[in-house]
Structure 1
């Protein structure tokens, strides 16, 4: 029973379900590498706590935070990763080559549900668009984003679409 925990603490390599494949498909079949200045393993409570400049990498997926907590489920698999920072950040290269990035006070990755939940000053950016809200839920498999202003002063969600820069030829209003 102690063996899975020791390999977690010493190797700090966790596998995430390979059925998460809607974005960054290759990333989700790779091991997760966690690095930090300090690590504490609580065997009794199935909990690994990393602090001091934490980085979580899995292929092109990268989360940076001040603190990351990894929790194991009843099957002894790392199932939930909670990253906290000022802010915690997430980036990943998508299959089409574009990059998605996010930041929040807390980013929780629910591995079994294939969901990222961003809470507190949350923002998601892709291309020229950016959404901000108090809570943003990003379903990795379905590639859907749900945002809520819940808990914020004005309970609003903001999305910004930046138009492309005009080419020099378009300066005079030509529509060729």
Structure 2
């Protein structure tokens, strides 16, 4: 009876240890910890549901949500992960020491396709730049992002690039380099 559950948990390990997240590669040799106030396993429907302050941690990778649903495909491993919250969040420290973060009402990770889909007040931030839209699709393997304002009040996408601060030496030298 526990075998399907173990397969589902193994799928969670595959979720975070895949080369998909190469930007935080060191994290994937570390143990995965799932915590929540409540957990339900639906063996018949191949579904694991975590609710009440859900946190998934592996090294610097952290996903927080009010609710996380893991669905198994026909190959007996978790393939689709749906995190919901107000908002659900994802953060990870990159190899260069910077942090990438994302948030949305719903974050869906499609493991086989290596894609994060953020829906509802979606935002992705890295360094001084931030993209926000109703829907953001982030291809983890290719490191590409696609954003759509469809369904939002003004059907627009916003990207903000914040300039870096000037060095005090630049001010003293009249901005010349």
Whether the TM-score (by the shorter chain) exceeds 0.5 is: yes
Task: Quote the offset at 1:29 in angstroms.
Answer: 5.5
Alignment of 1:19-98 (within 5 A): 19-28=19-28, 32-98=32-98
1:22–1:142: 8 Å Cα contact kept in structure 2? no
Task: Quote the offset at 1:5 in angstroms.
Answer: 2.8
Partner Cα distance (2:150, 2:32) in 1:
32
Query: Which SS does the other structure have where 2:163 is aligned?
Result: coil
- Deviation digits for residues 36-87 of structure 1, max 9, x if unmatched? 0000111100001110000012332211000000111111101111000000
Gaps of 5+ in 1: none
1:28–1:59: 8 Å Cα contact kept in structure 2? yes
Query: Which SS does the other structure have where 1:107 is aligned?
Result: strand
TM-score after normalising by structure 2: 0.89
Correspondence for 1:109: 109
Query: Which SS does the other structure have where 1:80 is aligned?
Result: strand
Query: Which SS does the other structure have where 1:45 is aligned?
Result: coil
After TM superposition, the structure 1 stretch with the greater mean CA deviation from structure 2, 23-32 or 113-122, is 23-32
Partner Cα distance (2:102, 2:124) in 1:
4
Gaps of 5+ in 2: none
- Deviation digits for residues 13-36 of structure 1, max 9, x if unmatched? 832163325321233465543210
TM-score after normalising by structure 1: 0.89
Partner Cα distance (1:125, 1:68) in 2:
22
Partner Cα distance (1:137, 1:81) in 2:
15
Q: Does 1:99 align with 2:99?
A: yes
Aligned-pair Cα RMSD in Å: 2.1
2:118–2:137: 8 Å Cα contact kept in structure 1? yes
> Which structure: greater helix fraction?
2
- Deviation digits for residues 133-165 of structure 1, max 9, x if unmatched? 000011111111111101111111100000011
Partner Cα distance (1:77, 1:29) in 2:
19
2:73–2:79: 8 Å Cα contact kept in structure 1? yes
Task: Quote the offset at 1:127 in angstroms.
Answer: 0.3
Correspondence for 1:175: 176
